[in-house]
Amino acid sequence: MSRGFFSFLLFALTFVVATNATSVVQVRDSLVRVPMVKRFNLTGSGTLLARDQARVKNLRARANARLSGTPLSLDAVISVPADNQRIDYAIDVQVGTPPTTYSLLVDTGSSNTWVGAGQSFEQTSTTDETGDDVSVIYGSGCFSGAEYTDTVSLGSGLTIPGQSIGVATSAEGFDDIDGILGIGPVDLTIGTLHPNTNTTIPTVTDNLFAQGTITSDLVAVSFEPTASDPIQNGELTFGGTDSSKFIGDIEYVPITTTFPSSDYFGIDQSIRYGTSTSILSTTTGIVDTGTTLILIADDAFSEYQSATGAVDDDETGLLRLTQAQFAKLQSLFFTIGGVTFELTPNAQIVPRALNSAIGGNADSVYLIVHSLGTPSGQGLDFINGQAFLERFYTVFDTGNNRVGIANTPFTNATTN
């Protein structure tokens, strides 16, 4: 292990510990800002893509299971190595009275909130057991346990009495986190409770809205791209959008009716490379906080690879460019609704400070666009993951059945 990577690991460890103690929430006009931490656990083993592609398979499998009414079996877990690379978004959540703080992954692609994978659950005076069991299978892990209701707080000032939460008795694939804050569409919870299989479990956003704490049933996500430091904070706002985090208007588009994207925050978009090379004609996919890269259908990926001249890199699993090729890289243009959003060349690459952490070398440039692992035409032809969310403000507007996208002060940043 190189000395640089070792210092990086130490830094990452220090950071994870330090941020657990700093949860600050401001409440203004029912808009609540919750700090969100970007966490890296990069092992140089080249599994970021494998993890993302396992997630794609799981998103499809969960949608198909709900459609057919057949529970997903554990065989559906697509195993990725336990020491896999991950980049995720986490927030601190308090549960109980007095509260215990848990660090939870923020996931718009699932809707169960649960704790207990790391720090064990503490029952308190506000804890009630519902009598149901609960379980969810994810792309690179699973949990099962008992369903409770309790007081859940996303920081001081944003408290939800009677929030339903899962308490894991077993969890796999969640070594360094306490659980998940699932803020996807509520129907994703169907089939997760037993025996009340057909019951939905309102998400924290749904309950905040139902209880009148926020005036719109939505959550907005702001992320800044990484600079030389590998980790930076983001922000979730519940109930409204934070105008200091985006530029111009938010373009809202309806959630698609095309299955299986319709089960998630699915939208239509087309993608063009440079002035005239079509990469993906208008089709359906999703926006997702739980996916690291920007994934596009295999045929679109081939177009992108030949347009950029990038080669497959065995060490990182990603596409690799020389510096000379990077100098000629064109923007990708995402047309969503009537608006075209520009993903600059700088936004298409892994932050160069992370090259060695992902198993790459300092002289190359690695691309954050890769393939879904399936051809287009299957109702889920792209995922705009974290690499997209770091350049564009995104509103997950459940109440109005739509997704909003806007430019940000970081859309054109050259920090990578």
d(Cα 64, Cα 286) in Å, to the nearest integer? 16
Asked if the peptide bond before residue 409 counts as cis, ω within 30 degrees of 0, the response is: no
d(Cα 292, Cα 51) in Å, to the nearest integer? 9
Comparing CB distances to ligand NAG, the nearer of 13 and 74 is 13
Minimum CB–partner distance for residue 148 and ligand NAG (Å): 26
Among residue numbers 247 through 286, which ones bind ligand NAG (CB under 6 A)? 247
Degrees to nearest 5, angle at CA 325 with 320 and 330: 100
118-137 burial, b if ≥16 CB within 10 A, otherwise e?
Answer: beebbeeebbeebebbbbbb
Binding flag, residue 411, ligand NAG (CB under 6 A): yes
Neighbouring C-alpha atoms within 13 Å toward the C-beta of 31: 12
End-to-end CA distance of the chain: 24
The residue length of the chain stands at 416
Catalytic residue among 178, 206, 217, 288: 288
Q: How many residues bind ligand NAG (CB under 6 A)?
A: 12
Minimum CB–partner distance for residue 176 and ligand NAG (Å): 3
Tell me the window of 108-116, 179-187, 363-371, 405-413 that interacts with ligand NAG (CB under 6 A): 405-413
Binding flag, residue 20, ligand NAG (CB under 6 A): no
Minimum CB–partner distance for residue 411 and ligand NAG (Å): 4
Q: Is 288 a catalytic residue?
A: yes
Point out the residue whose Cβ comes nearest to ligand NAG: 176
Tell me the window of 9-17, 27-35, 359-367, 371-379 that interacts with ligand NAG (CB under 6 A): 9-17
What would the x/- binding string for ligand NAG be over residues 60 to 89, using CB under 6 A?
----------------------xx------
d(Cα 7, Cα 12) in Å, to the nearest integer? 9
Tell me the window of 53-61, 64-72, 143-151, 404-412 that interacts with ligand NAG (CB under 6 A): 404-412
Minimum CB–partner distance for residue 202 and ligand NAG (Å): 30
Minimum CB–partner distance for residue 296 and ligand NAG (Å): 22
d(Cα 225, Cα 345) in Å, to the nearest integer? 13
Of 176, 242, 298, 315, the one binding ligand NAG by CB under 6 A: 176
Tell me the window of 10-18, 112-120, 201-209, 235-243 that interacts with ligand NAG (CB under 6 A): 10-18
Binding flag, residue 12, ligand NAG (CB under 6 A): yes
**Contact between 160 and 213 (Cβ < 8 Å):** yes
Of 128, 175, 229, 312, the one binding ligand NAG by CB under 6 A: 175
**Contact between 14 and 102 (Cβ < 8 Å):** no
The DSSP element (H or E) to which 386 belongs, if any, is helix 386-389
Comparing CB distances to ligand NAG, the nearer of 253 and 339 is 339
d(Cα 46, Cα 40) in Å, to the nearest integer? 14
Comparing CB distances to ligand NAG, the nearer of 152 and 221 is 221
Cα 25 off chain centre by:
21
**Contact between 169 and 217 (Cβ < 8 Å):** no
**Contact between 179 and 102 (Cβ < 8 Å):** yes
Minimum CB–partner distance for residue 125 and ligand NAG (Å): 32
Q: Is 107 a catalytic residue?
A: yes
Minimum CB–partner distance for residue 260 and ligand NAG (Å): 29
Number of other CB atoms surrounding residue 281 within 10 Å: 11
Catalytic residue among 92, 107, 263, 397: 107
Return the SS3 of 212: coil
Comparing CB distances to ligand NAG, the nearer of 13 and 18 is 13
The residues of the shown chain that bind ligand NAG, judged by CB under 6 A, are 12-13, 16, 41, 82-83, 175-176, 247, 407, 411-412
